[in-house]
Amino acid sequence: MVYSAFLIAVFLALLLLADFKRHWIQKMVLIMGVLLAGTFFLVSHIQKNESWRTLASDAKVATNTEQFDQWKFNGTHGYPNNELGKMVSITNYERIAWAKEGIRLIVQNPLGYGLVERSFGRLGKIAWPDSKLHQSHSGWIDLTLGIGVPGVALILGAILVLLLQLSSVNPVFGVFPWVKACQWGLFCLVLMWCTTEISQKVYLDSLLFWIAFAAGINFKSLEQESNGN
């Protein structure tokens, strides 16, 4: 829901800025309609998911990974209570605790463990032999633990360079619709990898495909520019 709200907000901002001085009535009607519908669904989602209301309390427990170490055992040792006297939301507690410890493992192992999938669990076994960890619930953390800081820096660097280059493509070029598709695809993938367990199987292949595809579209735009098309 957070990603959806953020992406919709970016889309509406781009819509408003596009051809800034024209079509104000149509733009405002569309924006108001989307905002009203989005607000309704967002409020309904928050009301139905208690984990949003306890996020701050759960985070206090989750960041105290030394005192509350249930995050190591994948639920077999139960879960602690938060300051409200209730058991923490499992998704809040584990995501935050795993992110904190995953970043700590990256600092300790900047070149990674070597496995694209489940390096977090392997390094966790070395640090905490009785742990039952698998993935950190963050694709970027897991991938960094697998291929190291240099490897992820190359991937993120390629994405950043492509996004910057694609943003300067002339709208008159025939590849322009594909340029926009690549920009949105790469942007959404960067977000999705932040808090999703997708450092595995075909998901990395898909990420590399989008990078290669965007690079091809960029080369095509440069070719059209050089030919004056």
DSSP readout, 95-135?
Answer: HHHHHHHHHHHHHH-TT--S-SSSHHHHHHHHH-TT-----
The residue count of the chain comes to 229
* pLDDT tens-digit readout, 1-49: 778 888 888 888 877 777 666 777 777 887 788 888 878 887 777 777 7
* pLDDT tens-digit readout, 64-89: 999 999 999 988 999 999 998 899 99
Nearest to 11 by CA among 206, 190, 197, 180: 180
Contact, 217 vs 163, CB < 8 A? no
- Split at pLDDT 50, 70, 90, the class of 228 is low
Residue 193: partners with Cβ closer than 8 Å, 6 or more residues away: 138, 139, 140, 143, 199, 207
Per-residue DSSP letters for 153-181? HHHHHHHHHHHHHHTTS-TTSTTHHHHHH
Nearest to 204 by CA among 116, 138, 115: 116
Question: Dihedral sign, CA of 77, 98, 124, 189?
Answer: positive
Name the DSSP class of 77: T
* pLDDT tens-digit readout, 106-157: 999 999 999 999 999 999 999 999 999 999 999 999 999 999 999 999 999 9
- Residues 110, 39: Cα–Cα separation, whole Å: 42
pTM over the 0.75 mark: yes
CA atoms lying within 13 Å on the CB side of residue 25: 0
**Backbone phi, psi, residue 16, to 5°:** -70, -35
